[in-house]
């Protein structure tokens, strides 16, 4: 089961944001999604990717990344390195909440997917003056493991290829982009639909937390703010 986020307060969490610009970060971070592609497809050296993988999986320093969203929301990415393996948890958070929502986790219980493409596309622009990961290309790549959508449009391929190129990949990265959009191997790509009554995207995936409306337990004001945050403008 994904670790509750408050339990990370007693763990060796470190700021992961400086790693985003380091050589080998993206092939290491997206290794599970990019099976069959070598680090050079990302424009990286294999040695740099291996070294970064060791950094991300360091049991003495667990990197954390924050993707700020509108309305005071954020998606927080936590690495969790135990004695035997490393997992990654993705939380949807808000300062007013007493408990965060788990969007995805690649631990043994597997939780995901947590976002469909229309939602992810709506999250690429950071709020003005926000702290954390604000570059739209980095935001897209960082949140790709949460995505699992069987109906991604062709524009998604172009957006991911553009993000890869902006982060140093060769211009001809369409094949890699298509592979990354197939979803995490633990949950793959699933069918989604928009429920007009609930005003929420729902997922039919067996392991998805989105089989029920996101934030359906929240007070009306917070639920409305969450819907606005995830709705394409």
Does the structure show a pLDDT above 70 at 62?
yes
E strand residue ranges, 13-115: 13-15, 62-68, 73-81, 86-94, 101-105
Which helix (H) or strand (E) is 165 found in, with range?
Answer: helix 154-166
List strands edge to edge, sheet with 101-105.
Answer: 13-15, 62-68, 73-81, 86-94, 101-105
Question: pLDDT tens for residues 121-151?
Answer: 999 999 999 999 999 999 999 999 999 999 9
pLDDT of residue 218 exceeding 90, the answer is no
Domain boundaries, the chain: 5-230
Q: Looking at the DSSP assignment, which residues form a beta bridge with residue 73?
A: 94
pTM of the model as a whole: 0.94
* pLDDT tens-digit series, residues 94-125: 988 878 999 999 998 899 999 999 999 999 99
Q: Which pLDDT does position 15 carry in this prediction?
A: 97
Give the separation between CA 24 and CA 26, rounded to whole angstroms.
6
Cβ-contact 24, 50 below 8 angstroms: yes
């Amino acid at each position: 089961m994904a670790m509750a986020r408050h339990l990370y307060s007693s763990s060796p969490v470190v700021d992961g944001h400086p790693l985003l610009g380091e050589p080998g970060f993206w092939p290491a971070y997206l290794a599970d999604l990019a099976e069959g592609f070598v680090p050079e497809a990302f424009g990286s050296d294999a040695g740099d990717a291996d070294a970064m993988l060791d950094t991300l999986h360091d049991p003495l320093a667990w990197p954390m990344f924050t993707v700020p969203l509108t309305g005071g929301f954020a998606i927080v990415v936590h690495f969790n390195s135990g004695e035997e393996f490393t997992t990654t948890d993705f939380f949807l958070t808000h300062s007013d909440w007493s408990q965060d929502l788990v969007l995805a986790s690649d631990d043994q219980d597997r939780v995901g997917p947590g976002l469909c493409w229309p939602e992810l596309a709506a999250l690429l622009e950071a709020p003005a003056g926000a702290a954390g990961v604000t570059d739209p290309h980095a935001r897209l790549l960082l949140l790709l493991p949460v995505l699992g959508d069987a109906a991604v449009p062709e524009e998604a391929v172009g957006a991911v290829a553009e993000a890869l190129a902006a982060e140093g990949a060769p211009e001809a990265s369409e094949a890699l982009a298509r592979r990354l959009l197939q979803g995490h191997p633990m949950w793959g790509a699933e069918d989604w639909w928009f429920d007009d009554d609930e005003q929420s995207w729902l997922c039919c995936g067996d392991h998805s937390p989105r089989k029920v409306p996101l934030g359906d337990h929240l007070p009306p004001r917070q639920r409305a703010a969450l819907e606005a945050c995830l709705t394409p403008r």
